[in-house]
Structure 1
Amino acid sequence: MSRQLITFQIGEQILGVDIMAIREIRAWSPATPLPNVPPHVRGVVNLRGIVLPVLDLSHRLGWGMTDPSARHVIIVVRIGEQLQGLIVDAVNDIVTVPDDGMQPLPDIGETPAAQFLEGLATIDQRLILVLALERLIDSTMALPDAA
């Protein structure tokens, strides 16, 4: 069975997440910082009465901190039972990946981003990095403690 992805950009990279995980796409609004959270957690925003954690996806993937501006977007996704916001540069489109369109990551060793990726999809000669959302949150929930 084919699956649909919402694609978006971080820098020149095109990434995708399963469309069923998307709850909404909203314009950038500054997040209220929280103390003692990992650096990729930019803070929280109020989403119609719900406190929404906002993750800097670029930083989480090891690609550097995002300097958010009005052109950035927050993609609200459901990971498990919790809503999370992901800061991205821009949302592109919806694509359909056929059954045989997903490929595993090549064995390139341990890279920060690889642990958060489910695989690769090629659509119209574009390579899309498909995120494994549940992996983003696993270590997000653990607050840093004494090192």
Structure 2
Amino acid sequence: MAETAEALADTQFEFITFSAGGQSYCLEITQIREIRRWTPVTALPHTPQDVLGVMNLRGAVIPIFDLSARFGLGATPANERNVVIVAAVDGATIGLLVETVSEILSVDKSAIQETPDIKSEATRNSILGMISVDDSMVRVVNLGAVVDSGKGLSE
């Protein structure tokens, strides 16, 4: 019985789905540390428009990225329902402002389709794959590529 559960774990992935820029995305659940209500952040000078500022998270200062703006879909409109997904990437903790968090999605590895080649290196780097859910597609975010896309706090 334990062997069956272990084999299943190798083929099953769990994702948290969310909305940014009116589009559906997901992150692997193991990357997410917590989900918080939106609170104002401390802005820093000379940051790109998609870097909203920093937030104090239990003594740690973390950068907050507007994921919609990061993906070129415009700034996330201010809304009390917005949330910050606190995630870990390459040993760093960051926050992603998104519109809403939807659900936990458990899928088989075979259900994750390749991102179509649309001649955009930025898209191919930031989206690991696509998952068909009902009548829509959910994009699997490559968190490392999104954060390291050359638009960090130092610009």
TM-superposed CA distance for 1:142, in Å, is: 6.3
Q: Are the aligned partners of 2:21 and 2:74 in contact in 1 as well (CA < 8 Å)?
A: no
1:95 aligns with 2:105: yes
Of 15, 18, 31, 2:25 maps to 15
Of 34, 44, 57, 1:47 maps to 57
Unmatched 5+ stretches in structure 1: none
State the alpha-carbon separation in 2 of the partners of residues 7 and 82 from structure 1.
21
Cα offsets for 1:27-81 (capped at 9, x unmatched) = 0001110112222110011111111110000000010111322110000000111
1:135 aligns with 2:140: no
1:79 aligns with 2:89: yes
Residue 152 of structure 2 aligns with an amino acid whose one-letter code is M
**Cα distance 1:105–1:118, how it changes in 2: closer, same or farther (>3 A)?**
same
Q: Percent identity?
A: 36
When normalised by structure 2's length, the TM-score is 0.86
114-123 or 89-98, which deviates more: 114-123
Equivalence for 2:120: 110
From the two aligned structures, give the one with the greater helix fraction: 2
Larger Rg: 2
State the alpha-carbon separation in 1 of the partners of residues 46 and 68 from structure 2.
20
State the alpha-carbon separation in 1 of the partners of residues 90 and 125 from structure 2.
18
Residue 89 of structure 1 aligns with an amino acid whose one-letter code is E
Of 117, 125, 131, 1:121 maps to 131
TM-superposed CA distance for 1:129, in Å, is: 0.5
TM-superposed CA distance for 1:141, in Å, is: 3.4
Residue 56 of structure 1 aligns with an amino acid whose one-letter code is D
Residue 85 of structure 1 aligns with an amino acid whose one-letter code is G
Residue 91 of structure 1 aligns with an amino acid whose one-letter code is V
State the alpha-carbon separation in 2 of the partners of residues 45 and 67 from structure 1.
19
Equivalence for 2:38: 28
**RMSD, matched Cα:** 1.6
* Secondary structure, aligned partner of 1:65: coil
Residue 110 of structure 1 aligns with an amino acid whose one-letter code is S
TM-superposed CA distance for 1:83, in Å, is: 0.6
